[in-house]
A and B are shown apart, each in its own frame.
Chain A
Amino acid sequence: EIVLTQSPDFQSVTPKEKVIITCRASQSIGSSLHWFQQKPHQSPKLLIKYASRPFSGVPSRFSGSGSGTDFNLTISSLEAEDVATYYCHQSSTLPRTFGQGTKVDIK
């Protein structure tokens, strides 16, 4: 099973600040890494697929990068509506796995 480790676990930032969340895989997964956003009391929503491809309708302030074992999700300028928990997810092998989540809050 591929283990995904996110850092940090929690980040408190001021509006318009840049946010970078890292996801590290326990073995190479190519670009089969995806990012989800889950707002309180909502289901997860896909943000970035295959490491760097924005999903339909996702604001341009969200971007992804990386390949192999190391990946980043960047929010270029945080807005209040971005308060959420962010999860990375791999589709390289079964069983599918998720990172533990990174909670982003407004300072």
Chain B
Amino acid sequence: QVQLVESGGGVVQPGTSLRLSCAASGFTFGSFGMHWVRQAPGKGLDWVAVISNDEIDTYYGDSVKGRFTISRDNSKNTVYLQMHSLRTEDTAVYYCARDTLGYGGMSDYWGQGTLVTVSS
């Protein structure tokens, strides 16, 4: 079955960097786009970024554009989110989710999330 496992979260100071990983299994990873979505404590869902199955296309939400980079390694069945210049408002649980297409579909399966806390 489809499984997505995020890792890499933790407590970091404002202005620093962090890289999240999402390990996928149970499907042909290289055939599907991947998303990152976040959820601040007690708040709603905030879409962050998407990457196409072939790594050619990416798109970011306005709140992270220029600071976050989504990438993937199809040989390792893993998608990454590199986060720079972290702000307190980036504190959230970060979920990865599978796209139903190579790019441009909708998210069907989600991981359990990893918590990022940005605090001094």
Q: Do A and B bind each other?
A: yes
A residues in contact (CB < 8 Å) with B: 1, 32, 34, 36, 38, 42-46, 49-50, 55, 87, 89, 91, 94-101
Q: Are A96 and B113 in contact (CB under 8 A)?
A: no
Q: Which residue of B lies closest to A44 (CB)?
A: B110
**Total number of A-B contacts with CB less than 8 angstroms?**
53
Whole-angstrom distance between the Cβ of A17 and the nearest chain B Cβ: 24
Q: Which residues of B contact A100 (CB under 8 A)?
A: 44
**Known contacts A94-B50, A96-B50, A98-B46; A45/B59 CB under 8 A:** no
Whole-angstrom distance between the Cβ of A2 and the nearest chain B Cβ: 11
Q: Which residues of B contact A99 (CB under 8 A)?
A: 44
B8 at the interface (CB under 8 A from A): no
Q: Which residue of A lies closest to B59 (CB)?
A: A94
Whole-angstrom distance between the Cβ of A31 and the nearest chain B Cβ: 11
**Known contacts A87-B45, A95-B61, A96-B35; A46/B50 CB under 8 A:** no
Q: Which residue of B lies closest to A56 (CB)?
A: B108
In residues 70-114 of chain B, which contact A (Cβ within 8 Å)? 95, 100, 104-113
Q: Which residue of A lies closest to B61 (CB)?
A: A95
Complex CA–CA separation, A32 to B105 (angstroms): 9
Q: Which residues of A contact B111 (CB under 8 A)?
A: 43
Sampled A-B contacts (18; CB under 8 Å):
A34-B107, A36-B45, A42-B112, A43-B95, A43-B110, A43-B111, A44-B45, A49-B106, A50-B106, A89-B106, A95-B59, A95-B62, A96-B35, A96-B50, A97-B47, A99-B44, A101-B44, A101-B45
